[in-house]
Amino acid sequence: MSLSTQPYKGTRDFYPEDKRIQKYMFNKWRDVFELFGYEEYDAPVLEPTELYLAKGNEEIIQEQTYTFLDRGERSVTLRTEMTPSVSRLVAAKRQELAYPLRWYSIPNLWRYERPQKGRLREFWQLNVDIFGVAGIEADQEIIQVADATVLSFGAKRTMYSIKLNNRALMNYISNDFLGLDSVQSTTLIRLIDRMNKMKAPEFWGLVEAIFSPSQRDAKLTDKLKKILNAKTMKALPKEVAASEPAQKLGKLIELLHLQGISNAVYDPTLMRGFDYYTDIVFEVFDTDPENNRSMFGGGRYDGLIGQFGVEPVPSVGFAAGDVTFQNFLESHELLPVLASETDVYVILIGDVYERAIKPIQELREMGVKVAVDLTGRKMDKQIKTALKKNIPYALFIGEEELKKGQFKLKELAKNSEESLALARIVTVVKDYRRK
């Protein structure tokens, strides 16, 4: 019986044409992050399971991760997100690192899910974090980086919006403004987090069920409605708008607008599920009505590093998945057709390989990327291969060419050719690459 050629369910093989797209995307990300002074880090794809249990998501660990015992009976998990790992790295060198840290990574992550559009078992995720800045300048910078990341692919700000909220503001609303107890608060916040997944009457019915009879008499539902329907911070009740977390969020939005990030808007319903967020949260939404959904998001999570028994470090970051990001680029036609990295495809005429090695080597020394056919097939088949590989030029080397030191260079897309010396070939090819 022969072996299956299929990759494991929910994963992707990256053939060169797929890898080229991934590299294009990742390298653009890297360029943006480095302009802002961010440095790349990495961590193992396998982590001790306890790293994820600390966040209290035992159910998720049991059902949605790749967790197993190693041969030494230690429980290990294929990483499901990068934030626990990066917090571990910072905590391990808490004292010796030079803050603020600006760190990014593009790890592959694993989740045991039923594969569906936009959701795979193995995916990549860019992670960007700034550690050691308590002020909103850090939140502002992280959102600026997120914005620059999308813009760098040629997107316009009309194609996406950046929705913001403040978890501390939600706590203020819930505890101080509405007067809920901590159990009611938690239930309400989780409910709002799922608000967009249900119909309005269902949602408000569940909200009512949280309140006590006296709270219902005090019309808390109406008060909450007014808040959750607010399109801007000005529409909030005065008392709420005057609160410290609302002021902070207002200041942040103002700073972003000042910088031209005009698509930054307040969204009182934005919670972001993760329990570790403590303050500002944000999400970048695709504005395409066909595809109006969250692309990625982040926020401030000041408490996480302290779980490792060290003094906490202020932390703000965001993460974006490769599949969702690529879908956005494709649906807005922002992915260019990517040519082969190879410049020249050498086709040998007759038995000249040994003597062709030298000129080929010279081209490489001058920086030209050269693949040689080497199959000895008929010339038209070799040309077809070069075309199929999307390589711009074919170069013919035979007895005569070697004698004259002039080689026939054919631009395959135009089907035009001329005989040129090596140095001239280098110029022509490099000019083409620059276009």
Query: Taking the complex as a whole, how short is the minimal distance between the CB of residue 50 and a second copy, in angstroms?
Result: 6
Phi and psi at residue 76, to the nearest 5°: -125, 155
Query: Taking the complex as a whole, how short is the minimal distance between the CB of residue 120 and a second copy, in angstroms?
Result: 10
Output 358-361 pairs: Cβ under 8 A, ≥24 positions apart. 359/397, 359/402, 359/407, 359/422, 360/397
- Between 95 and 214, CB nearer to a second copy: 95
Tell me the chain's radius of gyration from C-alpha atoms: 28
- Between 103 and 285, CB nearer to a second copy: 103
User: For residues 324 and 353, what is the distance between their CA atoms, to the nearest angstrom?
Assistant: 47
Query: Taking the complex as a whole, how short is the minimal distance between the CB of residue 117 and a second copy, in angstroms?
Result: 19
Helix H segments across 55-175? 58-64, 83-92, 136-151, 167-171
User: For residues 90 and 96, what is the distance between their CA atoms, to the nearest angstrom?
Assistant: 10
Query: Taking the complex as a whole, how short is the minimal distance between the CB of residue 196 and a second copy, in angstroms?
Result: 29
Query: Taking the complex as a whole, how short is the minimal distance between the CB of residue 400 and a second copy, in angstroms?
Result: 21
**Residue 412 corresponds to which tokens in the numbers above?**
């395959």
- Between 354 and 431, CB nearer to a second copy: 354
- Between 91 and 329, CB nearer to a second copy: 91
User: For residues 346 and 371, what is the distance between their CA atoms, to the nearest angstrom?
Assistant: 6
Query: Taking the complex as a whole, how short is the minimal distance between the CB of residue 397 and a second copy, in angstroms?
Result: 13
DSSP-assigned letter for residue 219: T
Query: Taking the complex as a whole, how short is the minimal distance between the CB of residue 76 and a second copy, in angstroms?
Result: 6
Query: How far from 226 is each of 219, 234, 262, 268, 282, CA to CA, in Å?
Result: 11, 12, 24, 10, 21
Residue 397 CA neighbour count, 13 Å, CB half: 28
Residue 133 CA neighbour count, 13 Å, CB half: 15
Cross-strand pairs, 137: none
Query: Taking the complex as a whole, how short is the minimal distance between the CB of residue 65 and a second copy, in angstroms?
Result: 10
- Between 23 and 226, CB nearer to a second copy: 23
Side chain identity at residue 420, one-letter code: L
Cross-strand pairs, 47: 77
User: For residues 122 and 348, what is the distance between their CA atoms, to the nearest angstrom?
Assistant: 42
Burial class (CB in 10 A: 0-12, 13-18, 19+), 393: buried
